[in-house]
Structure 1
Amino acid sequence: MERRLSAILAADVVGYSALMEQDEAGTFDRLRARRTELFEPEIARHHGRIFKLMGDGLLAEFGSVVDAVECAVSLQRGMTERNASVPEEERFNVRIGINIGEVIVDGDDRYGEGVNVAARLEQLAPPAGICVSGKVAKEVENKLAFTFDSVGRQKVKNIEELVDVYQVRIDAAPRRRIRHKRRIGQRWWAIGAAATIVALVAVWMVLQNPLTMISPAGPRTIPSVAVLPFADLSADKSLGYMGEGLANDVIAILSRFSDIAVVSRTSSFAYEGKQGDIRQIGKELGVGYVVEGSVRKEGDRVRIVAQLINTKTGDHVWADRFDKAGTDPWALQDELTGKIVGAMTGEFGAIRKADYSQAWGKDSTNLAEYDYYLRAESQLNLYTKEGLERSGEISRQGLQVFPGSPLLTVELGWSHWLKVALLHSPDPQADLQEADRLVKQVLADKNLSPQVARLANWLNAWLLTLKRDHDGAVAAMNKAIAAAPYNAFTLTDGGSIFLQAGQPEKGLELTDAAAARDPGLSWFFNYVRGFIYIVLGRNEDAVEALKATEFADAPLQLAIAYMRLGREADARSAVEKMLKSAPTATIQSWRQTWNFRDPSIMDQAAADLARAGLPPQ
């Protein structure tokens, strides 16, 4: 009989029986979807294995208790994100319990007190909560950035001894650990900086290398990173705990990103205090990138320097300094996040531009699949009639070399849709039908990379909107955002989807989040905000926003706002400006690019444009 020490995770759905009574088939389908979309991949990603399914629950085994806790937090956050997009009566709330102990191995099954205590802890957890044993809390308290609140010693069924129970506090941002309570101010700043560093590393890496495909149906690789402990450069060497804490926080948060492979703390911390060539460290750890840095204290100021290094070349991808002084580190974090993210990431950042340049610098006979995508995307982002035509041509050329490529297929779909959206299409219905065909082809593939899933669901959200399936559009847009929650461009366009679905306040919330993350994208979020303000009746605000952008049909939206403010001459000038860039624009072609749940919105807007001089057809 084999015995071994394992971390056991137990999970079940709260109120499952009542949900089954209300809608047996629907509840079963939704539960199965949650397992296949969230639980199974998350548990596998955290190196766990499900060894028992029990109707509405499951048991999973992990070799690392750190992996088990991080997985539990990822699962609960994933459930929260998914619940936000479904009616309250269809939401699942899950309870999770985690214990570490000796288990009996019997084939694929596991037995013993280690399993039994985990199941009892799960029953003590509140809905959407996580309870862990004292053994678990003690083991991970110096390794994870989550707070553990003591629930006290509890008597649980069939276990003679009282069990120390802790509840994991799942916050929007990681918080301080149990130790070092006397250094709360410094600790909070360290975590804030870590969150900023992680966001920047993760977004850069996902966008820099969203996927590398060996063949259309072959394996895909994702960026890999190791995080080294931050060196303590303070004169009194009093910040060693903070240097390790920062690295722990970065590892913990990075582990939430499915697009990034993160080396374990055990492996990367083996290089603590050692001087070496980053290229050699990257080779030994098998990673493409290394995060390293330092912490220093100067008076009442804490300075953190962080850098991301390409291990193949030894070059710095980015580096920045984080200074803490005063009482509001979060404000500084927001400022730094906006500055660096806006400069380096996203579809229009410096890194993506460098990607475009590199792809265009290659001989056409040596282009990889991703090179074709970059070339097509660089033309797509010109948003001109010629650029869209050229983008489509490049995608089709790539599909001849890489038949069936989901990445190039969805890129071709985007070129068809944007010709309609930007009023450049000679046959809007034909372009929309082709875009719809292509996106359906891509979404039929159940093994899409996160980058392709984002692009496909994002495009599908627009196509579903035009079909008046607003609920489906919102669900698709939520999937796109979930695939890249830090992508300001996707967030902003999501505002348009929610606006048309009858949720302008949610649309405004998304554009505000995008503006905080990437101020350089003002030309786009001002465009989306403009129509939101019009629908909300804030026409003065709409004018201010739309005057700051000329993207797409912004002049027509500006004309609508002017008309509602009684400024007919300004409205006519705005329409004339639109006709100079899109001579074939008409009320009929414009109406094909928007579709509100409330049809009166478009009827009133079309009437305003007719009075402002836009031809009917």
Structure 2
Amino acid sequence: MERRLAAIMAADMVGYSRLMEADEQGIVARLRAHRIELIDPAIAKNNGRIIKTTGDGMLVEFQSVLDAVNCAVEIQRRMARRNADVPSDARIQFRIGINLGDIIFNDNDIFGDGVNIAARIEQIADSGGVCVAASVHDQVSGRLDIAFDDLGEKSLKNISRPIRVYRAVIDEPGVEPAPGQAPKAQAQAVSKPAIAVLPFANMSGDAEQEFFADGLTEDILTELSRRRELFVISRNSTFVYKGQAVNIQDVAKKLGAQYVVEGSVRKAGDRLRITVQLIDTATDTHIWAERYDRKLDDIFLVQDEITTAIVATLPGRLEAAQNDQLARKKPSNLAAYESVLAAKVLHHRSTREDNARAQELIGQAIGLDPEYGHAYAWRGCILGQAWGYGWCADREAAFVKVEADLNRALMLDDNDADVHRILAAVNITRSNFERARYHQERALALNPNYDLVVVQMGELLTWLGSPAEGVEWIEKAMRLNPHHPARFWSHLGKAHFTAKAYARAIEAFMRLPTMDALAHIFVAASHGWLGDRTAADAHVAALRRLDPQFDLETFLATIHYANEADLQHLRDGLSKAGLT
């Protein structure tokens, strides 16, 4: 047996039995997600060691009380963000207690009074709260940006002496600036475009269609709310205008919305016609309008189909309108959201110069609002692009920055699909396909109609050896966003090549406005397999002009096929094209 001083964190899940009874499989899956994405990384980052776990709790050892408290507060703050959109009776919440004391270590387990006190203090904590013993408080007070409430001395079960307990106030800073030290700068609020969806009008005169019109409106509201770059006015605010003839600009002013979506539903026989339009209230202009005519075989299927079509297309049109406005502004006037938007546009152009400017703008966004999780996610994406294309002097240092930005984004907003999308991409580059698939599926669950998430599912399936299925996902992304970035054609070309559909691969790559080295490589390999050496030679020559130092094995090391046979297929095609 070994005895030493240690900080012990005891945590358990509130209402575990009740939640498991209501939805056993769902709770197990969600708890596993919280462990993978939040709890275990937070413990590792703060130098903790998990001693034991139970179904609803765990004991963790830390060598430093500062690390223990930082870890506990990080977990609770991030869990609060994760629970923001979850009904109160379905939330997974934890109580955490921390004690500093003498611990007995034996056979990879811990015992003793110090452990018992940590467990009893945890039972005092509120749902989502952290309580600490006086021994912990005395060590961290004034050293962390956390305030504490003194709960006084508590009589704990099976502990003979009273223990003084403090509650961490985890939703507000607690350290005043030192004399002569300037207070922390307040971050600017992110000014996202606000959008209101007015109740769709029922034009059919059929009272039963009222339910369809309301359901369609609510579905659009729900799906648009998945987009973290939009501020969507709530249903309660917009449905007060149901059945009223309104002046759009007056409504927009009252709701504080820059954009308004309105539409109508008309049923005639077995046909259903739905119209929808997006209005910029600042200029009173129609940005986008569409009409959907469907046969009413299954009203719920039709509702889902039209909802998907609207919410997939509408953000793209809104973003295009924002881009037009940005083009008329001076860069010095850009706020945090607008800087992110402009950086995205430059990123999608996929050139070295545009990437460098995108990095400047995304850094500007973070400078304007250091708590803007979406900006950190996109800085990780933009830096990741520079890393992937070799546009950085120190690739390893760049990758470290990418991971740091994504970890920061996860801490600030676990429910941003972009964060998980980019984490999936990062894990692909490390050939960690299990983690890549996990984050990819999480991104899809958060926003199934986001074209960048959908297209990446096609990429991942291509790398995993299912290119035909990958083609389906990539083509779906193109349908979701008819104004998709040009690089979608490259993704489609790689999927077709891997599926050995060489003519289709060539056709996809030739749709690119400008062919880069990667495109010439895959087109050359496609012509190699088709036996057209003349065409292959032309693309090999173009590749050599773009990259005189091209080395085949170095290039192949950047291709992330899970199956060696797929990589050999590419190598053989390039050999047939005369590229060795």
Distance in 2, matches of 1:395 and 1:408, equals 6
Quick check: 405-414 or 455-464, which moved more? 405-414
Classify 1:340/1:400 alpha carbon distance in 2 versus 1 (closer, same or farther; 3 Å).
Answer: closer
1:434 paired residue number: 398
| Aligned residues of 2:190 and 2:369 also touching (Cα < 8 A) | no
Deviation at 1:230, TM superposition (A): 0.5
Residue segments in structure 2 that go unaligned for 5+ positions in a row: 1-17, 36-51, 59-74, 95-125, 128-184
| Aligned residues of 1:527 and 1:554 also touching (Cα < 8 A) | yes
Q: Which amino acid aligns with 2:405?
A: Q
Whether 1:418 and 2:385 are equivalent positions in the alignment is: yes
Deviation at 1:368, TM superposition (A): 1.0
1:361 paired residue number: 328
Classify 1:305/1:576 alpha carbon distance in 2 versus 1 (closer, same or farther; 3 Å).
Answer: same
1:394 paired residue number: 361
Whether 1:264 and 2:303 are equivalent positions in the alignment is: no
Classify 1:595/1:247 alpha carbon distance in 2 versus 1 (closer, same or farther; 3 Å).
Answer: same
Whether 1:50 and 2:111 are equivalent positions in the alignment is: no
| Aligned residues of 2:190 and 2:372 also touching (Cα < 8 A) | no
Q: 1:255 is paired with a residue of what secondary structure?
A: helix
1:11 paired residue number: 22
Classify 1:496/1:311 alpha carbon distance in 2 versus 1 (closer, same or farther; 3 Å).
Answer: same
Q: 1:352 is paired with a residue of what secondary structure?
A: helix
Quick check: 399-408 or 457-466, which moved more? 399-408
Superimposed CA distance per residue, residues 339-382 of structure 1 (whole angstroms, 9 cap, x where no aligned partner): 97887654xxx543332332343234332112222332222222
Classify 1:26/1:482 alpha carbon distance in 2 versus 1 (closer, same or farther; 3 Å).
Answer: farther
Which of 486, 491, 513 is the equivalent residue of 2:454?
491
Classify 1:327/1:219 alpha carbon distance in 2 versus 1 (closer, same or farther; 3 Å).
Answer: closer
Which of 239, 264, 279 is the equivalent residue of 2:249?
279
| Aligned residues of 1:395 and 1:408 also touching (Cα < 8 A) | yes
Deviation at 1:246, TM superposition (A): 0.9
Deviation at 1:495, TM superposition (A): 1.7
Q: Which amino acid aligns with 1:568?
A: R
1:594 paired residue number: 559
- Percent identity over paired residues: 22
Classify 1:404/1:360 alpha carbon distance in 2 versus 1 (closer, same or farther; 3 Å).
Answer: farther
Q: Which amino acid aligns with 2:528?
A: M
Distance in 2, matches of 1:280 and 1:460, equals 43
Classify 1:445/1:529 alpha carbon distance in 2 versus 1 (closer, same or farther; 3 Å).
Answer: closer
Classify 1:369/1:613 alpha carbon distance in 2 versus 1 (closer, same or farther; 3 Å).
Answer: farther
**5 Å matches for 1:212-611?**
223-232=194-203, 234=204, 238-252=205-219, 254-255=221-222, 257-259=225-227, 261=232, 263-264=234-235, 268-285=238-255, 287-296=257-266, 302-311=272-281, 314-324=284-294, 345-346=315-316, 350-399=317-366, 402=369, 406-421=373-388, 423=389, 425=391, 427=393, 430-431=394-395, 433-449=397-413, 453-521=416-484, 523-549=486-512, 552=516, 553-610=518-575
Q: 1:228 is paired with a residue of what secondary structure?
A: coil
| Aligned residues of 2:467 and 2:498 also touching (Cα < 8 A) | yes
Q: Which amino acid aligns with 2:398?
A: E
Q: TM-score, normalised by structure 1?
A: 0.57
Classify 1:358/1:508 alpha carbon distance in 2 versus 1 (closer, same or farther; 3 Å).
Answer: same
| Aligned residues of 2:212 and 2:303 also touching (Cα < 8 A) | no
| Aligned residues of 2:451 and 2:480 also touching (Cα < 8 A) | yes
Classify 1:258/1:220 alpha carbon distance in 2 versus 1 (closer, same or farther; 3 Å).
Answer: farther
Classify 1:326/1:485 alpha carbon distance in 2 versus 1 (closer, same or farther; 3 Å).
Answer: closer
Classify 1:16/1:359 alpha carbon distance in 2 versus 1 (closer, same or farther; 3 Å).
Answer: closer
1:160 paired residue number: none
Classify 1:390/1:593 alpha carbon distance in 2 versus 1 (closer, same or farther; 3 Å).
Answer: farther
Structure with larger Rg: 2
Distance in 1, matches of 2:396 and 2:300, equals 44
Distance in 2, matches of 1:279 and 1:45, equals 30
Classify 1:432/1:341 alpha carbon distance in 2 versus 1 (closer, same or farther; 3 Å).
Answer: farther
Classify 1:250/1:385 alpha carbon distance in 2 versus 1 (closer, same or farther; 3 Å).
Answer: same
Q: TM-score, normalised by structure 2?
A: 0.61
Distance in 2, matches of 1:386 and 1:569, equals 33
Number of matched pairs: 433
Superimposed CA distance per residue, residues 43-68 of structure 1 (whole angstroms, 9 cap, x where no aligned partner): 7536x43399899xxxxxxxxxxxxx
Q: 2:356 is paired with a residue of what secondary structure?
A: helix
| Aligned residues of 1:533 and 1:542 also touching (Cα < 8 A) | yes
Aligned-residue Cα RMSD (Å) equals: 4.7
| Aligned residues of 2:461 and 2:467 also touching (Cα < 8 A) | yes
Deviation at 1:602, TM superposition (A): 2.7
Q: Which amino acid aligns with 1:377?
A: K
Distance in 2, matches of 1:280 and 1:494, equals 42
Deviation at 1:556, TM superposition (A): 0.9
Superimposed CA distance per residue, residues 425-457 of structure 1 (whole angstroms, 9 cap, x where no aligned partner): 375xx2354134233333244454479x33333
Q: Which amino acid aligns with 1:590?
A: F
Distance in 2, matches of 1:321 and 1:401, equals 40
1:118 paired residue number: none
Superimposed CA distance per residue, residues 248-276 of structure 1 (whole angstroms, 9 cap, x where no aligned partner): 332145335444645336x5444333223
